[in-house]
């Protein structure tokens, strides 16, 4: 590179030498060439400046990584013997760390530093980074989606300097007064969930105040005759509505995936209105809940009834079923939240009816259903289901517990093969299953989704089988090989050719890298006994529920007292 710069610079200066033109009398030509001279010199200096800025950015990223390594060496006492003292509900205990796990966790942490530094350098404060063009884009109305989504990942990984810088941006620049048609679902899981998780981890009230502020702007979406919310709302002016392409209907996943966040918000503020709005949705759906627990993806917000439409554990259905289980866990499995568990078990009965197996390899997969017809198609999004089944299996008796855990392991094997079946070893968006062909990629893009890694994390935590760590490591390496570029991470337009897109999705930092990091961390780091993850992988503290029950679902009229444990001494907030 030095020789190239030297050559272009000396060439420009040679043409700028007046003696060179003494034998060239044509003034017009002389003026033209002089103009070219100046342009060459300016271009050369701009090139040097640009390269200097890129080198500084790289050095800054390397310095940040070195700082994190120093912090880790300070935090992990006795690292020479690979032992640490961990605190849990049962007191302190000594844990022997696997050196391979330590090495892999550091690699994932370095990937997070690279992704975050790229966002800092090219898209700070904007929603998402476009790495190839090195600019930001406000795909969520300018709410700093990547920044808010990444808060708890930064905190968990010990990247405290980056966390504090993000916190300062939230304190000074995060503004929700946007004339923007926001998705109630996306805003809840990313922004409300991200802020609540940052609060539970740090106990910094700024995050709770901000979570309440954005939730208040979302609340009018639930003002419908049935209580089933509209899925779109203008953040500045209200005016909730549904997208035109749904024919005025509300979407099942979008309407049934706010309960974890809104219940947590009521618990932490003592204001029951958030919990009441979100739980009324479940009350309404429970009135006509079918025996198989499977609901079509469209619901009428006026009547609260479902019409004839697709039933799926993939897009637009998935997280409704996830939250039935997770609200039960969030409430510490008390009688106040048992109706959620009952509804979830009905839905798992329905899930069993959608299981089919391929030939010749007998991969288990989840069909989609329309009326009485089944479609042999499964979204990668549905790869959250193995983790959900594993997480919920312990609530059954011994026989059913084993049955559902075995099914979870079978589905995880299928999802892992979604990755292994392509040339890039990254999964496509969905798969079709044909007799004698096992699985075939349908929509062939990959946008850095976390669902399979999420399930591997749960299965490793719940079974201790290190095979799931190996599978996760293979997926991480495929992301490193195919998606990592100098300025961040990108998805693939085609998992067969490896052609890259130009977007670093916020959930790559919020979910994919976080689950990979936890996959190689001790099980006491964000223990499943103390935390529940929302559908955007934001950990929320588990708090026992003892409120009254109405219409089969807790109504949230009590003002619960909770105790949060974090870096500071425990304290009670009312």
We report the CATH number of the domain holding residue 370 as: 1.50.10.10
Active site residue 318: yes
**What is the distance between the alpha carbons of residues 496 and 513, in angstroms, rounded to a whole number?**
23
What pLDDT does residue 546 have?
Answer: 84
- Half-sphere exposure in the Cβ direction for 304 (13 Å, CA): 17
Instruction: Specify the number of domains making up the chain.
Output: 1
**Is the residue at 230 inside a domain?**
yes
Per-residue pLDDT at 191: 98
Verify whether residue 429 is a known catalytic residue: yes
Residue 190 backbone zone (phi > 0: left; psi -120 to 50: alpha; other: beta):
alpha
What percent of the chain shows pLDDT beyond 90? Answer: 77
C-alpha to C-alpha distance for 325 and 535, rounded to whole angstroms: 12
Q: What is the pLDDT of residue 62?
A: 52
* 79 pLDDT higher than 90: no
Structure token digits, residue 392: 């919920």
Any domain includes 70: no
Per the annotation, where are the binding residues?
535
Using CB atoms within 10 A of its CB, is residue 2 exposed (0-12), middle (13-18) or buried (19+)? exposed
- Say which of 186, 258, 409, 494 is annotated catalytic: 186
Please report whether residue 403 resides in a domain: yes
The Cα–Cα gap between 204 and 194 comes to 13
Q: Say if residue 428's pLDDT is above 60.
A: yes
Q: Which of 200, 203, 380, 451 is catalytic?
A: 451
Catalytic entry in 44, 203, 279, 318: 318
| 553 in any annotated domain | no
Alpha-carbon 398 to chain mean position: 33
In a domain, 26, yes or no: no
279 catalytically annotated: no
Q: pLDDT of 206-244, one tens digit each? A: 999 999 999 999 999 999 999 999 999 999 999 999 999
Residue ranges of the binding site for Ca(2+): 535
Per-residue pLDDT tens over the stretch 430-454: 999 999 999 999 999 999 999 999 9
8 A C-beta contact, residue 492 and residue 426: yes
Q: Tell me which residue of 574, 525, 563, 537 sits closest to 200, measured CA to CA.
A: 563
- Of the residues 261, 429, 438, 547, only one is catalytic, namely 429
Residue 213 lies in a domain: yes
Distances 517 to 71, 304, 417 between C-alpha atoms, Å: 16, 41, 21
| Contact by Cβ (8 Å): 298, 308 | no
Per the domain annotation, does 184 fall within a domain?
yes
Its domain, for residue 128, covers: 101-541
Question: By percentage, how much of the chain surpasses pLDDT 70?
Answer: 79
Sign of the CA dihedral 245, 347, 329, 380?
negative
CA 247 to chain centroid: 28
Q: Is 71 a catalytic residue?
A: no
Q: What is the pLDDT of residue 73?
A: 40
Q: For tokens 């993850």, what's the residue?
A: 533
Residue 549 has pLDDT above 50, yes or no: no
Three-state SS at 17: coil
In-domain check, residue 228: yes
The answer to whether residue 347 scores a pLDDT higher than 60 is yes
Q: How high is the pLDDT of residue 82?
A: 54
**Rounded distance, CA 460 to CA 517, Å?**
13
How far is it, in rounded angstroms, from Cα 571 to Cα 574? 10
Asked whether residue 77 carries a pLDDT value surpassing 80, the answer given is no
Instruction: Round to whole Å and give the CA distance between 267 and 565.
Output: 15
For residue 224, how many other CB atoms are within 10 A of its CB? 22
Least confident of 1-10, 224-233, 356-365, 503-512: 1-10
Q: Which of the pair, 552 or 298, is modelled with greater confidence?
A: 298
pLDDT (average), residues 36-63: 53
> Does the pLDDT of residue 47 top 60, yes or no?
no
pLDDT at site 95 = 59
pLDDT of 306 = 86
Residue closest to 437 by CA, chosen among 456, 412, 417, 453: 417
Q: Taking phi first (over 0 means left), then psi (-120 to 50 degrees means alpha), and beta for anything else, what does residue 32 get? A: alpha
Structure confidence by residue, pLDDT tens digits, 473-494: 999 999 999 999 999 999 999 9
């Amino acid at each position: 590179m030095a020789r190239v710069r030297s050559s272009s610079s000396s060439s420009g200066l040679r043409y700028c030498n007046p003696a060179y033109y003494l034998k060239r009398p044509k003034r017009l030509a002389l003026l033209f060439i002089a103009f070219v001279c100046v342009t060459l010199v300016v271009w050369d200096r701009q090139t040097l400046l640009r390269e200097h800025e890129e080198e500084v950015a790289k050095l800054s990223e390397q310095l940040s990584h070195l700082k994190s390594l120093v912090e880790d060496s300070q935090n992990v006492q006795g690292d020479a013997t690979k032992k640490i003292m961990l605190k849990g509900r049962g007191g302190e205990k000594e844990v022997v760390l696997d050196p391979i796990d330590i090495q892999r966790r550091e690699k994932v942490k370095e990937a997070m530093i690279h992704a975050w530094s790229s966002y800092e350098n090219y898209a700070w404060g904007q929603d998402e980074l476009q790495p190839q063009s090195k600019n930001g884009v406000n795909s969520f109305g300018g709410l700093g989606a990547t920044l808010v989504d990444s808060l708890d990942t930064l905190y968990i990984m010990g990247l405290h300097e980056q966390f504090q810088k993000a916190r300062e941006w939230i304190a000074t620049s995060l503004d929700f007064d946007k004339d923007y048609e926001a998705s109630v679902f996306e805003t809840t899981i990313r922004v409300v969930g991200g802020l609540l998780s940052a609060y539970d981890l740090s106990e910094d009230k700024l995050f709770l105040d901000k979570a309440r502020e954005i939730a208040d702007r979302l609340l009018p979406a639930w003002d419908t005759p049935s209580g089933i919310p509209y899925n779109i709302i203008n953040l500045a002016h209200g005016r909730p509505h549904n997208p035109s392409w749904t024919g005025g209907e509300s979407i099942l996943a979008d309407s049934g995936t706010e309960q974890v966040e809104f219940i947590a918000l009521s618990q932490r503020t003592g204001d029951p209105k958030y919990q009441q709005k979100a739980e009324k949705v479940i009350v309404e759906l429970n009135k006509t809940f079918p025996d198989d627990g499977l609901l079509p993806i469209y619901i009428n917000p006026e009547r609260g009834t479902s019409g004839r439409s697709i039933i799926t554990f993939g897009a637009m259905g998935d997280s409704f079923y996830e939250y039935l289980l997770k609200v039960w866990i969030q409430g510490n499995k008390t009688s106040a939240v048992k109706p959620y568990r009952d509804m979830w078990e009905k839905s798992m009965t329905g899930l069993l009816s959608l299981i089919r197996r391929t030939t010749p390899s007998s991969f288990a997969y989840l069909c989609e259903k329309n009326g009485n017809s089944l479609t042999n198609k499964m979204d990668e999004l549905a790869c959250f289901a193995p983790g959900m089944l594993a997480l919920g299996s312990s609530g059954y008796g011994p026989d059913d517990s084993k049955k559902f855990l075995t099914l979870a392991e079978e589905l995880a094997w299928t999802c892992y093969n979604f990755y292994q079946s392509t040339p890039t070893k990254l999964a496509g968006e969905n798969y079709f299953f044909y007799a004698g062909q096992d699985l075939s990629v349908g929509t062939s893009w990959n946008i850095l989704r976390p669902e399979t890694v999420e399930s591997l994390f749960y299965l490793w935590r719940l079974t201790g089988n290190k095979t799931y760590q190996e599978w996760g490591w293979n997926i991480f390496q495929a992301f490193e090989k195919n998606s990592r570029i100098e300025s961040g991470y990108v998805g693939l337009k085609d998992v067969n050719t490896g052609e890259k897109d130009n977007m670093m999705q916020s959930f790559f930092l919020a979910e994919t890298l976080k689950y990979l990091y936890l996959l190689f961390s001790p099980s006491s780091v964000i223990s499943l006994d103390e935390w529940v993850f929302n559908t955007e992988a934001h950990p929320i503290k588990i708090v026992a529920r003892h409120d009254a029950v109405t219409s089969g679902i807790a109504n949230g009229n009590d003002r619960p007292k909770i105790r949060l444990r974090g870096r500071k001494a425990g304290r009670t907030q009312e």
